Structure 1
Amino acid sequence: MGKSRVGLAVHALLAEAKVRHALIEGDNLDMAYPPTWEYGLAELNLAAMWQNYRALGYRRLVYTNTASVLPEVIGELTAAMGDTPSVTAVLLTCDDRTARARLAQRENGIELRRHIERSMAMSRELSAAAPSWVHVVDTTDRSPEEVAAQVVALTGWSNPTTAE
């Protein structure tokens, strides 16, 4: 289980509670080859999408992306939204055994080894660089629904009449 599955579970919980929100998978905002990160395409696409959601009255955004808890990325994303959002940042973690098992479900051979190495390096980087106000949620031996319930509780969005 990863950030996308947890994001979908958060979406399901909020929808069930009739909490108006949008879900954007950040990895898809600039998925291209050659890579487009140097042009800020993810931020441009987020700005365009959020403008459309805002025009329809949305005020809550569930945004999933690996590096979105890094201070510079948080700043870029909130600037792209064009307003002053209240951010509840969550870093999902798990133990190495769980990470390896999850990666083995979707990768194999040399790709698996490369993904494990990148995952372990990114985990260390995110843990070291995330601001102290970022919530750390351990996903080891937990279902996406259990993790999503904790994330929703952290946002305070479980009541559809709060934080419009």
Structure 2
Amino acid sequence: MITGPAGVGKSTLCWEMGAMLAEAGIAHVAIESDELDRVFPKPGAEELTPLAPGARDVSQLNLAALWGTYRALGHSRLIMSGVMLHVGFDKQWMLAAIPQARITVVRLRAGEESLIERLDRRETGAGRDAQIERSLRQARRLADEATGDFIVVETDGRSPAELAGEVLGKAGWLPVS
């Protein structure tokens, strides 16, 4: 699980990790958690219960469906990214979707100046300032949170390839280079 504030480089890291794993011939799946519940109107418990009693979120159902297909194809590694402000809760719905999963949490960090610079390149239009403020709030909140057994990776001044090599090495998916 690759997590951190918006603009920290989660998607870029996942793409680089995927490229490195593919180059090494290691089967894997990459999923951005935002795509698991990008639906309107968002279904509530009453719509989900007939599909899966106890399901709390459509993300859980969609992850289970996708993983079922990928697992049947022989995959055993999943890279998933998202802001994940409530890691304990997020791990619960992921484990409900993939009961046998061993989840490694990777928290990406960047300084506020770096976040603003990255978001400034990415965000345009009326929502730009609101997204920057939201990301800075996320970064401040996450900086104060205990990281326990997380892999914490500082991203400032580092290339995606360097970050991917570190994460894949610490996760035990590729030798540390």
Please list every run of 5 or more consecutive structure 2 residues that lacks an aligned counterpart in the other structure: 1-7, 46-55
Tell whether the 8 Å contact from 1:90 to 1:134 is kept in structure 2 after alignment. yes
Identity of aligned residues (%): 35
Choose from 155, 161, 164 the match for 1:145.
161
Measure the CA separation in 2 of the matches of 1:97 and 1:85.
36
1:124–1:35 CA distance, 2 compared to 1 (3 A): farther
Equivalent position amino acid for 2:31 in 1:
I
* Alpha-carbon distance between aligned partners in 2 of 1:36 and 1:148, rounded to the nearest angstrom: 35
Structure 1 runs not aligned, ≥5 long: 160-164
Under a length normalisation based on structure 2, what TM-score does the superposition of the two structures give? 0.81
Verify the 8 A CA contact 2:17 2:168 in the aligned structure 1: yes
The SS at the match of 1:57 is coil
Farther-moved stretch of structure 1 (28-37 vs 117-126) = 28-37
Query: More helix per residue: 1 or 2?
Result: 1
CA contact (8 A) 1:95 1:140 kept: yes
The answer to whether the 8 A contact 1:9-1:145 is kept is yes
Give the Cα separation in 2 of the matches to 1:12 and 1:68: 27
Structure 1 residue matching 2:122: 3-state secondary structure: coil
Q: CA deviation at 1:35?
A: 4.2
Please give the root-mean-square deviation of Cα atoms over the aligned residues, in Å.
2.0
| Residue equivalent to 2:124 | 108
Are 2:112 and 1:96 aligned?
yes
- Answering whether residue 30 of structure 2 is matched by residue 23 of structure 1, we say yes
Superposed displacement of residue 34, structure 1: 3.7
Which secondary structure does the structure 1 equivalent of 2:134 belong to?
Answer: helix
* 2: CA distance, partners of 1:37 / 1:124: 30
Shift of 1:113: 1.4
Question: How many residues were matched structurally?
Answer: 158
